[in-house]
Amino acid sequence: MGHSGNGEKMKNQRIYPVLWVFIGILCFLMVSVNALAQNLTWDLSWEHYAGAAKKAFMQGDYEKAEKLLEASLNKAKKFEKTDYRITITYSNLGLINQVQKKYSRAETYYTKSLNIKRNALPGNDPSIAREINNLATVMVAQGKYPEAEELIKEAISINEKAFGKGSLTVATNLGNLATIYAMEGDYPEAETLYLRVLEIREKALGPNHPEVGIILLNLAQVYRFQRKDSQAEPLMKRAAAIMANQPKGPAQPSAQEKKPEEEIKAPEQRILAEKYQLSAPMPTEGESAKPSEKKVRWIDLRSIGSALKQIFK
């Protein structure tokens, strides 16, 4: 009996270390699997796809960026319908389709983003005005000038109340509205608005800023169409002088970049916008052509060099 008890005891002593080793391995595997699962969840998250899409967009690979944004949209379906990440995704999809000249699809995405913001935010929130302006640009590209005009007027109303009538944000909206009037042939209205934009930008940016030159060029075109060549010529010469005197190296900050009033107040939204919101690439030439026999190119933001080529060729 004594030998039997000792044998059983020795057997148990051999089993326990093996059992503890087994339990240790099992715990290690469980922790490892859990960590792997967390990594996979992150790697395939909305942030992963949105970040990769922005990188592809910056590299000019719009097709890849669009596919990644569509994947991020699928991930965003788990969020609340008013989640800020959903509006970023829709807005980015709008832009990626816009730069590919898929204007109908861009309109759809911008509209979805705008509708979410209208339902989630107060009606006078500047974020709504920004999305309205995005939508208006694709309306113009499709020749839907009356719809674009109404949208821009709404954006102006919101931004004037939020930032004041002399803000650069309002100036951008006014410039867009002036361009719409010019495309429709309403040159007196376009002239009035361009003069107002010129006054705001000269005051805020200085008389020799490139975006002041851009407004000078647009205003000169409007004068030419009204056969006011004597008023157009000095504006074109001044614009040419502004261009010639620009220092080499990084471009001056644009009106868009010098609008502190547009800073998003909510910290988490600002972080998301900075990390994942796409920005339109700098155009190489005026993108909007007047649909008439005059074949005029209207200047869009920073395309001053191309504009001068158009005018002085």
Does residue 306 surpass a pLDDT of 80? Answer: no
- The CATH architecture assigned to 46-55+62-164 reads Alpha Horseshoe (1.25)
What percent of the chain clears pLDDT 90, i.e. is strictly above it? Answer: 47
Residues linked to residue 298 through DSSP beta bridges, in sequence order? 288
Q: What are phi and psi of 301, to 5 degrees?
A: 55, -110
Between 86 and 246, residue with greater pLDDT:
86
E strand residue ranges, the chain: 288-289, 297-298
**C-alpha distances out from residue 186 to 66, 189, 222, 266, Å:** 37, 6, 9, 40
Torsion of CA 209, 215, 219, 225, to 10 degrees: 120
3-state secondary structure at position 59: coil
* Total Cβ atoms within 10 A of residue 183: 20
pLDDT of amino acid 185: 92
Give the whole-angstrom CA distance, residue 171 versus residue 186.
19
Give the whole-angstrom CA distance, residue 112 versus residue 117.
9
Q: Which residues of 60-95 are buried (b: 16+ CB within 10 A; e: fewer)?
A: eebeebbbbbebbbebbeeeeeebbbbbbbbbbbbb
pLDDT of amino acid 282: 38
Gyration radius of the chain over CA positions: 29
Give the whole-angstrom CA distance, residue 310 versus residue 224.
14
CB 261 within 8 A of CB 163: yes
Over residues 251-268, the pLDDT tens digits come to 555 444 444 444 444 444
Q: What are phi and psi of 298, to 5 degrees?
A: -90, 140
pLDDT of amino acid 277: 60
pTM of the predicted model as reported, rounded to 2 decimal places: 0.69
Between 193 and 245, residue with greater pLDDT:
193
How many residues in the chain? 313
Does residue 10 surpass a pLDDT of 70? Answer: no
Does residue 131 surpass a pLDDT of 70? Answer: yes
Over residues 27-70, the pLDDT tens digits come to 433 433 343 333 334 346 888 888 888 888 888 899 999 999 89
How many Cα atoms are found within 13 Å in the side-chain-facing hemisphere of 295?
A: 3
**Average pLDDT of the segment spanning 226-250:** 86
Output the CA angle 297-194-296, nearest 5 degrees. Answer: 15
Does residue 206 surpass a pLDDT of 60? Answer: yes
DSSP 251: P
- Mean pLDDT estimate for the chain: 75
Domain segments of the chain: what residues? 46-55+62-164, 167-247+278-313
The domain defined by 167-247+278-313 carries CATH number 3.40.50.300: no
Does residue 287 surpass a pLDDT of 50? Answer: no
pLDDT of amino acid 307: 38
